[in-house]
Amino acid sequence: MPTKKVTTTTSQDLSIFSLEVSPSLLAQAIHVYQENSHRGVSKTKTRGEINATKKKVYKQKGTGNARHGAKSAPLYVGGGVPFGPTGLKSAPMSLNQKMKSKALIGTLSLYQKEKRLSLIDSAEIKDMSTKSALKVLGRDEAAFVYFNEKPAVLKAVSNLENIIMLSARRLNAFTVASSPKLYLTSSAYDHLVNRLKLI
């Protein structure tokens, strides 16, 4: 099915997102957000925590076989796991505010350059229905970035299976990079411009 043409606003200009940002900063920002999203509770047992006999498998000498200790050794099936996760999450990684803002601007600029960023007018969803939202947004996988939209509009859009909802207040480089394309409402655009101090 052909891509739906999205209605764009005329009073706002996406070319404001045109900042070239170092790829290393974008990679660092995405890595930090990704790492901090993990709970970090995975744990494996060491050989000392395995509930098995500590008896030596066979005597040290005279068998012609390699020397072995208990069956809790990592060499054996069911033995302990060396260097596995401990269940203790390290301190969260962080970026300063300037780096966060710059990474977000850079990601939005990249999407703008690749024509994956669109402005829409939420008023186009006239009867506040899911059918109307589908006509405006189309069937492509995308993210709908909103800010202070009417609850009826948010409900209509949230019913679309191909659309994920993102608040402009919490938008960051990782959530942008996780979406194939972005639709910004007019209010979300204004919020981001003010938040990122692009004027």
pLDDT grade, residue 19 (50/70/90)? confident
pLDDT(7) > 70:
no
In a domain, 40, yes or no: no
In a domain, 68, yes or no: no
pLDDT of residue 199: 59
Q: At what angle do helices 130-137 and 151-158 cross, to 10 degrees?
A: 70
Q: Running DSSP on this structure, what letter comes out for residue 144? A: E
- Report the C-alpha gap between 115 and 188 in whole angstroms: 18
In a domain, 104, yes or no: yes
> What pLDDT, in 10s, does the model give residues 69-105?
999 999 999 999 999 888 777 777 888 999 999 999 9
Q: Which domain holds residue 128?
A: 14-20+94-195
In a domain, 47, yes or no: no
Torsion of CA 72, 75, 81, 84, to 10 degrees: 160
> What pLDDT, in 10s, does the model give residues 137-184?
999 999 999 999 989 999 999 999 999 999 999 999 999 999 999 999
The CATH number linked to 189 is 3.40.1370.10
Helices assigned H by DSSP within 89-181: 97-113, 130-137, 151-158, 173-177
User: 86 pairs with which residues across the strands?
Assistant: 43
Q: pTM for this structure? A: 0.70
> Rounded mean pLDDT of 3-31?
76
The pair of three-digit structure tokens given for residue 38, joined into one six-digit string: 């993990």
Q: Identify whether the C-beta of residue 32 lies closer than 8 Å to the C-beta of residue 95.
A: yes
Number of domains in the chain: 1
pLDDT grade, residue 192 (50/70/90)? very high
> Rounded mean pLDDT of 181-193?
94
Of 121, 162, 119, 115, nearest to 139 by C-alpha is: 162
Percent pLDDT > 70 in the chain is 93
Those residues with Cβ within 8 angstroms of residue 27's Cβ, 6 or more apart along the chain or in another chain: none
In a domain, 65, yes or no: no
